[in-house]
Amino acid sequence: MDLPTKKELSLISQVEKSGTLAGRFNNVACINIDENGKKKGCFSLVFSADDIAQGEKVILKFLSPEVMTDKYRVDSFSRESDILKRLHRKGRCLNFVHGPDTFKWQIPMDSASADFDVEYFAVEYLPIDVEPYFINQVAFSALDKLQLFRNTVLAVAAIHDGGVFHRDMKSDNFRAISVGGRQIVKIIDFGTAAHYLSPLVTSDLNYPDNPNGRSVGAPAFSAPEHIVGLASHREIGKSTDIYALGALLYQLFNLQLFAKSRSTPDFDQVISYLHMCMTGSNRIEDRVNIWDRELPKFKHVLDPPALNSRGHNLPPAINSLLTDLHLKMTRFDYKDRLSDLQIVLKRVDSAIRILSNIALERKKIEARKRKRELKLLKLRQKQERLDHYLKQRRKLQYNVEE
């Protein structure tokens, strides 16, 4: 994380002091600057606000002033609100509230002044942070972590059903809301997401939707095909999200980061080789052909790190089940990778049932143990009362005989 720039601090100050935005948002406060003054996120500024129109708390997302001259980032920001509108009111999807709208920002200058319209939009506020499950995994039971992962898979399935693939799934891009006592996880931050029908966003720089593009999303969770330049391929978007889900599963049950575990000399060299082969290929079809032609040479050395490798904390009862699932979700070649989230859910549900049954049996054993202990306690108490009675009787008899 970096410190916010002078331009970003200027925009934050003006937004927070603006009073009511769009006639409905007040009590606006920046929330992606931490207590040390460092900014979380690279390309946007995020604020909480009270929506007086609906009587609810919301999130306002502004494009950072530092990327307003970057055509790719500007167009991606505009595409984000369009994607959110497509998903609005679909189950387990982030709800769109307002926008896109603009805020008139007075650009800080030493000897002059100028105004610039900064685009922003509003989405629902999700109060529950689920990232601790991933970064402090030992604090949670295996069953709790599996329930959270199941919720996460359902959130991804929901956007896939809406024709959207996220392309930047990581632990801090999930939050939750409580509905009727149930925790519902939703995926946030659609800045790099795309819809099947989304036009390509182009740039003079090496960004994902440019034919000469490179990686997209968080490197620690990016699928190999994204790293080498296939990020704009619409037909593999779901598969790359499933790869990221596999990396998140690894993070729940292994103390090592998935990216660190997979970064072997073989993996890194194959990535470099494939990227060099694709450099200069402007058509996505040519890049796919290169992938298909070159990758078979290396498949025998490209198995992903096993979920039950050193540092894991998998319960023995579900070790093989989840290790096999993780392997199928994180295969190097997207064509060999598990592509059906319903299968993922079935495997996770099986693991949950196993742990739930073990927990239930453990409770039954504990209940029988407590019952036996209570019975023994009652017997001891009964014996103690009998011993006391006999002792008193003998004492009385002794006194009478005297």
Distance CA 111, CA 109 (A): 6
pLDDT at residue 211, rounded to an integer: 37
pLDDT averaged per 10 residues, the chain (length 402): 86 93 95 84 90 96 91 88 92 94 88 86 96 92 96 96 92 93 94 78 45 62 88 84 96 90 92 89 87 90 91 94 97 93 96 89 79 86 85 76 60
- Report in angstroms the alpha-carbon separations of 379 from 146, 369, 386: 43, 15, 10
Q: Which pLDDT score is estimated for 246?
A: 96
At position 221, the amino acid (one-letter code) is: F
Write out 252-301 in H/E/C secondary structure.
Answer: HHECCCHHHHHCCHHHHHHHHHHHHHHCCCCCHHHHHHHHHHHHHHCHHH
Q: What is the pLDDT of residue 1?
A: 64
What architecture is the 1-125 domain classified under in CATH? 2-Layer Sandwich (3.30)
What's the CA gap between 48 and 28, in Å, rounded? 6
Assigned fold of 127-402: Transferase(Phosphotransferase); domain 1 (1.10.510)
Question: End-to-end alpha-carbon separation of the chain, Å?
Answer: 93
Where does the chain hold its CATH 1.10.510.10 domain(s)?
Answer: 127-402
Residue written as token pair 């450099």: 279
Q: Can you give the pTM of this predicted structure?
A: 0.86
Q: How many CB atoms within 10 Å of residue 381?
A: 10
Place of tokens 């073989």: 266
Contact by Cβ (8 Å): 100, 84: no
Intervals of CATH 3.30.200.20 along the chain: 1-125
Determine phi and psi for 344, rounding to 5 degrees: -60, -45
Interstrand relation of 96-107 and 25-30 (parallel, antiparallel or unpaired): unpaired
